[in-house]
Structure 1
Amino acid sequence: MFKYIIKRILIMIPMLLVVTFIVFSLISMSDVDPGRSKLGPEASQELVDELNHKYGMDQPFLIRYFKWVWGAIRLDFGDSWYYDHPVSVDIAARFPNTIKLTLLSIGIALIIGIPLGVLAAVKQYSWADRVFTTLSMLMAAIPTFCIATIGVLIFCWKLHWVPATGVVNGWKSWILPSLTLGISYSASFLRFTRSSVLDTIRQDYIRTVRSKGVRERTVIWGHSFRNSLLPLITITGMMLGGLLGGAVIMESVFVIPGLGTLVMNSINQYDMPMTMAAITMLAAMYMLIMLVVDILYAVVDPRIRARYTSFKKKKAPAKAEGGAA
């Protein structure tokens, strides 16, 4: 198992290089003149060339890319072209906000979506199943920014329960954006949980467990739900990765200083170092999340764990036979 984790971590390195190379290439193909963009159209060409030389824009593409990679290995992403200070300052300030919003939202989605999905599967074709399924389809169809706007109008401007923007009011600032994203994503968890539990609840081993007189709660949660976790783990990992980069709308609506708004602002400001650093952080976090998903597969499913030890178990008898011969 340890060798498998090391192997996956090593695979992440070329994948991250491919992602950064593609992003770096697309930014370089945009023909943006950072010196002119920063100094304005009235600046002399000598000053523009001097600033571009400072940024290394007069060097070949591959040299600029490998210099950026060498700096990124040392966690030095350079200085921002727009703010004239190290990129790591803004990344360190905004990254915790994105992580907090992502974890709170996915936690709310799991708490709401999974129990309702299990209940809808157990009570299939009942009024509860129809109500929850209809609500999940409705929430999936409504855009997230519409839910956010309605929430701001009701809970901020009408009832004055929570602040409308910013993160300076402590835990109250995170209630509305987390609930908005969590309720929106809970619809997907409800549908996936319902379909997964329905697939396992009809299996022969579930009927065998019930025939032994096991309590229904144990049958549902201890056997059926546990064997439905693999697809749920997959969708949770994918949603976490999507939330890391897809929370831009919530960060914009609620004015949350996160990585999503940082990427959008740096692209509009032609700030290449800031864009590269933010996208690299998001890509690295997504790969780490998928690594954790693969590890959870082995924790949940004993058959996957057996694959990592089966080779050693098969190898031992072979040595014994050779010694006997």
Structure 2
Amino acid sequence: MDPRWLARRLGQILIVLVGISFITFTLVWLAPGDPAQAVYTSQGITPTPEMVDQMRVRLGLDKPFLVQYVTWLGNCLHGDFGTSYSLNKPVADLMLVRLWPTIKLSLASLLLMLVVAVPLGMLAAVRRGGIADRLVRGFSFLGISMPNFWFGLLLIWAVALKLGWLPVVSTGQGLDRLILPAATLAFAMIGKYTRQVRTAVLEELGQDYVVGARARGLSERAILTRHVLPNAQLPLITLLGLSLGSLLGGTAVVEVVFSYPGLGNMAVTAVTSYDYPLVQTYVLWIALIYMVINLVVDVSYARLDPRVRRGARS
């Protein structure tokens, strides 16, 4: 790996993080509502104007905008992300507690998606134009077009309420409470990745090495598993990285539907309660995780494909 390339990418990540932090802080500062009053409201207290003014001074909200931003950013660089207005706990501790459930949910949905999408995509490619291909494409179109929250509500109604196989809410730690939200997130990805796998496999099946393998008498199964699938997986690696980053920051709706104790659910609660430190830290953390995942994907892509390494060196 070229150290200059890595240093350039890390510099880009730093610049983007600073930009995201400024934009997020600005939008939160411009948002309606008074966080000083929200602190009392979350405690069931009706504050007087004097109490609100005292709280604004305590929280530093009486200072100019740039002073507030520089102070907050400096504290973040030292690992101090502030204290939650509504929960009165360090924001970093709250984020760490909710981070692992969201990671677990994202990885489970990705695994479920791969188990279903890869075989379906390969089947559709091998049976191109046939009944199986049409059924798979119809299923993928349904998965792409149906909103996550609607499919989640259907699962709750059918699997949890009517059949009683799984719990309605997912507040516990058991594996059974992870199945429904993971299936909801995986459903839309299955439609997208099935199409991607089908396209990638069809492209590889038209290559000369496949014709040569068939001429040597290799079975279709051996050609697919040993040659076509390893080559077809390269374009999917980037998509997997992007999907994982999107899942970590985009599970809020599903987490709210299933009452899942993840980052997204916490972020929605923070927005409704004007918990600005929690919102700002959530956006900053998700942006950092997303960019780090993209960096890891780029590095792994170069490791798997020698042509990428040669192109980077040149």
CA distance in 2, matches of 1:282, 1:59: 28
Is residue 18 from structure 1 mapped to residue 19 from structure 2 by the alignment?
yes
**Conservation of the 8 A alpha-carbon contact between 2:201 and 2:232:** yes
Superposed CA RMSD in Å reads 1.9
- Tell me the distance in 2 between the aligned counterparts of 1:199 and 1:260: 38
Residue identity in the other structure for 1:268: T
Structure 1 counterpart of 2:212: 208
In 2, distance between residues paired with 1:297 and 1:278?
Answer: 28
What CA distance in whole angstroms lies between the structure 2 residues aligned with 1:130 and 1:174? 31
Inter-partner Cα distance in structure 2 for 1:12 and 1:175: 34
The CA distance in 2 between the partners of 1:247 and 1:134, in whole Å, is: 25
Paired residues of 2:2 and 2:313 also in contact (CA < 8 A): no
C-alpha distance in 2 between matches for 1:32 and 1:92: 27
TM-score calculated relative to the size of structure 1: 0.89
1:253 corresponding residue in structure 2: 257
Which residue number in structure 2 is paired with residue 289 of structure 1? 293
Corresponding position of 1:194: 198
Structure 1: how far apart are the matches of 2:173 and 2:40? 38
Aligned to 2:54: 50
CA offset digits 1:214-263 (Å, max 9, x no partner): 33223223322222223211221222122112211211111011111111
Aligned amino acid, residue 207 of structure 2: Q
1:48-99, CA deviations, whole angstroms, 9 ceiling, x for partnerless residues?
2221111111222222112111211222101111222211221111111111
Contact 2:125 2:202 in 1 (8 A): yes
Q: Pick closer, same or farther for the CA change 1:93–1:226 going to 2, 3 Å.
A: same
C-alpha change, 1:36 and 1:176, in structure 2 (3 Å) is closer
Is 1:177 the counterpart of 2:178 in the alignment? no
Provide closer, same or farther for how the CA distance between residues 68 and 176 of structure 1 changes in structure 2, counting only shifts above 3 A: same
**Alignment partners' CA distance in 1, 2:122 and 2:144:** 18
Tell me, in whole angstroms, the C-alpha distance in 2 between the residues paired with 1:134 and 1:13.
Answer: 43
Q: Which moved more, 1:3-12 or 1:19-28?
A: 3-12
TM-score using structure 2 length: 0.92
Moved over 4 A (4+): none
Q: Give me the whole-angstrom Cα distance separating, in 2, the residues matched to 1:178 and 1:164.
A: 13
The match for 2:308 is 304
Counterpart of 2:284 in structure 1 is 280
Q: Given that residues 241 and 289 in structure 1 are in contact (C-alpha distance below 8 angstroms), is that contact kept between their aligned partners in structure 2?
A: yes
Deviates more, 1:81-90 or 1:186-195: 81-90
2:108 pairs with one of 91, 104, 110: 104
Maintained 8 Å contact 2:245/2:289: yes
Q: CA deviation at 1:277?
A: 0.9
- The separation in 2 between residues aligned to 1:208 and 1:190, in whole angstroms, is 27
- Distance between the aligned counterparts of 1:149 and 1:54, measured in 2? 43
**2:265 aligned partner, one-letter code:** T
**Structure 2: how far apart are the matches of 1:178 and 1:150?**
14
- 2:233 is paired with a residue whose SS is helix
Query: Which of the two has higher C-alpha Rg?
Result: 1
Percent of counterpart pairs with the same letter? 35
Instruction: For residue 307 of structure 1, report the CA deviation from its aligned partner.
Output: 3.2
Answering whether residue 247 of structure 2 is matched by residue 243 of structure 1, we say yes
Equivalent position amino acid for 1:242 in 2: S
Q: Which moved more, 1:39-48 or 1:25-34?
A: 39-48
- CA–CA distance in 2 between the matches of 1:300 and 1:130? 32
Q: Which blocks of at least 5 consecutive residues in structure 2 are unaligned?
A: none
Change (3 A) 1:51 1:188: same
Change (3 A) 1:16 1:250: same
**Which residue is equivalent to 1:61?**
65
One-letter code aligned to 1:19: I
Q: Check the 8 A contact 2:82/2:91 in 1, yes or no.
A: yes
For residues 47 and 165 of structure 1, the distance between their equivalents in structure 2, rounded to whole angstroms, comes to 39
Kindly report which structure 2 residues correspond to 1:55-134, keeping only aligned pairs within 5 A, or say none: 55-134=59-138
CA distance in 2, matches of 1:230, 1:63: 47
Q: Specify the code of the residue in structure 2 equivalent to 1:67.
A: T
In structure 1, list runs of 5 or more residues that go unmatched: 311-325
Q: Is the 8 A contact 2:241 2:297 kept in 1?
A: yes
